[in-house]
Structure 1
Amino acid sequence: MGAVALITTAVVQNKPLPKNMKYGIVLDAGSSHTSVYIYEWPAEKENDTGVVQQIDACKVDGNGISSYAHDPPVAGLSLQKCMDKAREVIPEQQQRETPVYLGATAGMRLLRLNNATLADEVLSSVGSTLRSYPFEFQGARIITGQEEGAYGWITINYLLGNFLENSGWLGRLKQSATFGALDLGGASTQITFVSKKEIESQENSLHFRLYGKSYDVYTHSYLCYGKDQALRRQIAYTIPDANNSTILDPCFNSGYRRNTSTKDLYSSPCIAQQRISTAPSNIEIKGTGNYQLCKQKVEMIFNKTQCTYSQCSFNGIFQPNLEGEFGAFSAYYFVMDFLKLTNEKISLERVKEAVKTHCSRPWEEVLKEFPKIKEKYLSEYCFSGTYILSLLENGFGFNSENWKDISFLGKIKGSDAGWTLGYMLNLTNMIPAELPYSPPLSHGSYIGLMVFFSILLVFIILTCWLSLRKPKCLQKGII
């Protein structure tokens, strides 16, 4: 009985504790597509912020939800496949308490500028679909550009471990330096970093508290400066030079041709001021593949003539001096990865040479080498590479010296670099911390019982041994 009690106590006390996990779903409704990210974190939080990690992701078929403005109900239906997958991933017993958030970015910001009613109808459609699932729907909204930039900054610094303190060789705690964040989408681009200099424009200043520490960051989002909208603007600048409805465009490989409707081109609010009433209804674009000429056209997009602050990036927007290292993700990564420029620290000169080389290649040669890439994306890498260089160098102020401080990031520790994880991290601050599962006995009680049962077991064994052992005198008498 003593042995049974001892073993039972040890087994019950030391059996594996059940996982007390929480789950969350964030939908990134971008201008070109929508992605669904599934996260989990332990209910017992660390310094009031959940330790969140991505466990799955799903890319929604089709374009972004803003493209369904002509038929809003389809926007909601497009999410069903990925939401069905989320229902399979998250344990059924925890689905009712799993929050779902949809954040729409620059594509929906532009739609709201064009037609606020249609934007509301699209959000209503996706909201109806998300409510039909057994999750805790928390809303579908258009996030601001500043939020998008700041949450992206949170994401990469969390994944790189920059929010937690490390022990120095003297045993003292020191805080890691944070990375700046460079995000490039289809309709907007964001830059965010911690600056030691005073932020002169309050609309570019945000405050965060994560893992018990406060951070003041500079951030700005440039609507209409995503790569897709920038391409529209570059084409629009070329229309006045069109000859017989044909444009010779140096930002496409030589031999490439594309027909474009000017009605569709001018439908974006980003180029409303460039509209030409006498423009032909359709234009044909013929690529000439010239990096230097393409660069000249791209630089026309940036206005650096006006600045009411001590210093600006472009378009009169205040920007302090660049500080520290930067992580560039989203379209930055995809374009540089295509050009094979993400695996190591590469000089600015080498990047320019790689983009120049790609732009000079004939379209037939490029098409033959990359048959699996969609023609639309493949045809735009010359422009995208040139635009990224111009944006970082001419727009934000990177140069040959600090270019090495940029790291192009796709995934970090299995999680996608982007704003959604940062969004989830910030939201977990509002989820009350729960007590962790604990063993049935306290440590002191467990040790006390183990000692008691051990002494009891030894006493019982000793007693049994003494009672069964015959005295030596009796043994001699029997002999």
Structure 2
Amino acid sequence: MGNQVKAILLGAAMVAIACTTIIALILSLANHQTVNQLYSTQYGIVLDAGSSHTALFLYQWLGNKENNTGIVSQKQNCVVEGDGISSYVQNPPAAGESHKKCLDVAKAAIPQGQWKATPIYLGATAGMRLLSLQNQSLADNILEEVSKALKSYPFDFQGAKIISGMEEGAFGWITINYLLESLVKHTFEGFWIHPKAGKIVGALDLGGASTQISFTPNDKVKDPDSAFSLQLYGYTYELYTHSYLCYSMDQALKKLQVDLHKVGF
């Protein structure tokens, strides 16, 4: 029965990841956010620019923190129209324009007095990593146009960049463990506590253009290119995280289509 419950919780968390991707990024923004009024509600916007589409997430958190890390919750989300930004190679300005409807939604949800204090960040994943390998100038041009669109809004622009496969894997690990309350937990007494050891889980992320695997090994990670250190809620975590570019759902389907075409289907 216990294993059944764990499987249900894990499945629910994986579904939730699809709706609250890159919680890690907003945690980072919350850590660096200047709080003008103690315990006031703060806001932050993260755009997850995946290979198939981009999603905007609006988060909120109180000005006070738990061991130097914010406790965040999702307030709103919006799926940007069109495909992923890597598909705009023929019309980079349209990549920026496509974000404006969702940016308007976020703007309407944030009190006007807090627009300038609201950080906004876009993280692009494997679709843009692939494009940058094929044509760096095209990838840079698309990010420049997206940045222009984000800067045209009265938010605190924190950047638009292609995150590494290692970062993507680590962010996925943070997200699932945050949602499972493995990193920090709220008690019935109203306190935030660090859960008992042994509740940390690994994360396997099958994306559109890459797959990431991340976990905390028993021994020190031998390969420095796969070692990632994190400081969350006063605790240090040493991760093994690795990204496999092109080993993904969309890439597998493309390979299958090619193979079927070769055999005459």
TM-score range, shorter chain: 0.7 to 0.9
Q: Take 1:174 and 1:26, find their aligned partners in 2: how far apart are those partners?
A: 30
Whether the 8 Å CA contact 1:72–1:125 is kept in 2: the answer is: yes
Amino acid at match of 1:129: A
Q: Take 1:237 and 1:203, find their aligned partners in 2: how far apart are those partners?
A: 33
Amino acid at match of 1:210: L
**TM-score normalised to structure 2 length:** 0.80
1:117 paired residue number:
137
Query: What does the per-residue CA deviation read over 1:97-118, in whole Å, with 9 as the maximum and x for residues that have no partner?
Result: 1000000001101111111111
- Go from structure 1 to structure 2 and tell me whether the alpha carbon gap of 1:165 and 1:99 turns closer, same or farther (over 3 Å shift): closer
Match for residue 213 of structure 1 among 219, 226, 235: 235
Match for residue 39 of structure 1 among 51, 59, 62: 59
1:77 paired residue number:
97
Q: Which structure 2 residue ranges, 5 or more long, are not aligned?
A: 1-36, 188-194
Secondary structure, aligned partner of 1:84: helix
Q: Is 1:195 paired with 2:217? A: yes
User: Structure 1 residue 197: deviation in Å?
Assistant: 3.1
Query: What does the per-residue CA deviation read over 1:255-288, in whole Å, with 9 as the maximum and x for residues that have no partner?
Result: xxxxxxxxxxxxxxxxxxxxxxxxxxxxxxxxxx
Secondary structure, aligned partner of 1:69: coil
Whether the 8 Å CA contact 1:28–1:104 is kept in 2: the answer is: yes
Equivalent residues in 2 for 1:100-249, closer than 5 Å: 100-164=120-184, 174-239=196-261, 241-242=262-263, 247-248=264-265
Q: Take 1:65 and 1:23, find their aligned partners in 2: how far apart are those partners?
A: 25
Q: Take 2:146 and 2:88, find their aligned partners in 1: how far apart are those partners?
A: 11
Secondary structure, aligned partner of 1:97: coil
1:22 paired residue number:
42
2:86 paired residue number:
66
Secondary structure, aligned partner of 2:143: helix
Whether the 8 Å CA contact 2:53–2:80 is kept in 1: the answer is: yes
- Go from structure 1 to structure 2 and tell me whether the alpha carbon gap of 1:192 and 1:19 turns closer, same or farther (over 3 Å shift): same
User: Structure 1 residue 184: deviation in Å?
Assistant: 1.4
User: Structure 1 residue 164: deviation in Å?
Assistant: 2.7
Percent of pairs identical after alignment? 52
* Rg larger in structure: 1
Whether the 8 Å CA contact 1:166–1:176 is kept in 2: the answer is: no
Amino acid at match of 2:54: T
Q: Take 2:232 and 2:240, find their aligned partners in 1: how far apart are those partners?
A: 16
User: Structure 1 residue 238: deviation in Å?
Assistant: 4.5
Query: What does the per-residue CA deviation read over 1:191-232, in whole Å, with 9 as the maximum and x for residues that have no partner?
Result: 111110342221111110101101011111111011111111
Secondary structure, aligned partner of 1:81: helix
User: Structure 1 residue 72: deviation in Å?
Assistant: 0.2
User: Structure 1 residue 179: deviation in Å?
Assistant: 1.2
Q: Which runs of 4+ in 1 moved over 6 A?
A: none
Q: Take 1:18 and 1:165, find their aligned partners in 2: how far apart are those partners?
A: 22
Secondary structure, aligned partner of 1:207: strand
Amino acid at match of 1:192: S
Question: How many residues matched?
Answer: 223
Q: Is 1:50 paired with 2:70? A: yes
Amino acid at match of 2:208: G
Whether the 8 Å CA contact 2:38–2:63 is kept in 1: the answer is: no
Whether the 8 Å CA contact 1:164–1:175 is kept in 2: the answer is: no
Whether the 8 Å CA contact 2:124–2:162 is kept in 1: the answer is: yes
Query: What does the per-residue CA deviation read over 1:60-112, in whole Å, with 9 as the maximum and x for residues that have no partner?
Result: 11100110011100000000000000001111101101000000001101111
